[in-house]
Amino acid sequence: MSCSQVSLPNLEVLKVYGLKNLERLGHGPLSMGSLSKLRKFTMSACNNLLCVFPSELLSILLDLETLEVEDCKLLEVVFELEAGVHSNEPNPEILSPLKVVKLYDLPKLSYISKRDPTGFQYIQTLEIYRCHSLRYVFAPTVTKSIPQLRTLEILFCRMLSRIVAEENGLGESSVDEVEFPRLEKLVLCGLPNLVNFFPNVNTTRPKSTEHLHTPMQSQPLFNEKVN
């Protein structure tokens, strides 16, 4: 059966576990309405998969709220947003109202997305544990579009150097100000290469630092331009 013949219009929860030979979700166009009501997607132990969501799936996942990915040994990127897919938009768009993203034990994960997406404005919880190839979490342009973020936990990611990436390796950002106005819980632990939270931009502190944990001794977590 081809992907164009598959339709799961009422599916709300999908768990994919232990498919060791799975290399790709979807292959070619899906039928109209497929997975359009999917709210929670969980994937674990799919050790040949390189990408969670190829571009052709993103346009149909209109209700996805929770994404959990764990223990996929070769996974390199979560959202495959390739040039030319949204040719009329300056940045590709993730259309689903994602609220919770949890990424655990993904040793080859290098990017959440290689291109700067829009559409993260509903994210409330982001947890990243033991993703040792990840060097940054957010692109600078993305940080202006995540006003609902309440919980950010990043633990034991050996190569992570910044939470928000610098642009063009210059230690600078074209974004003048970054705000996480609803951030309540921030946990940073086991990040030996973490340099700072943001490049040189104005930063709004979390509402509460009660849950703040940082491994850095000599480096400031936020730069001097913190509001």
Give the chain's mean pLDDT: 78
H-type alpha helices, the chain: 55-58
pLDDT: which is higher, 219 or 168: 168
Asked whether residue 205 carries a pLDDT value surpassing 60, the answer given is: no
Query: Domain total for the chain?
Result: 1
**Do residues 95 and 58 make contact, with C-beta atoms less than 8 angstroms apart?**
yes
In-domain check, residue 101: yes
In-domain check, residue 206: no
Specify the pTM: 0.82
Comparing 7-16, 27-36, 48-57, 135-144, the range with the smallest average pLDDT is: 27-36
Burial class (CB in 10 A: 0-12, 13-18, 19+), 52: buried
Q: Cα separation of 60 and 25, whole Å?
A: 13
pLDDT at 139: 76
Residue 129: domain span: 12-81+93-166+178-198
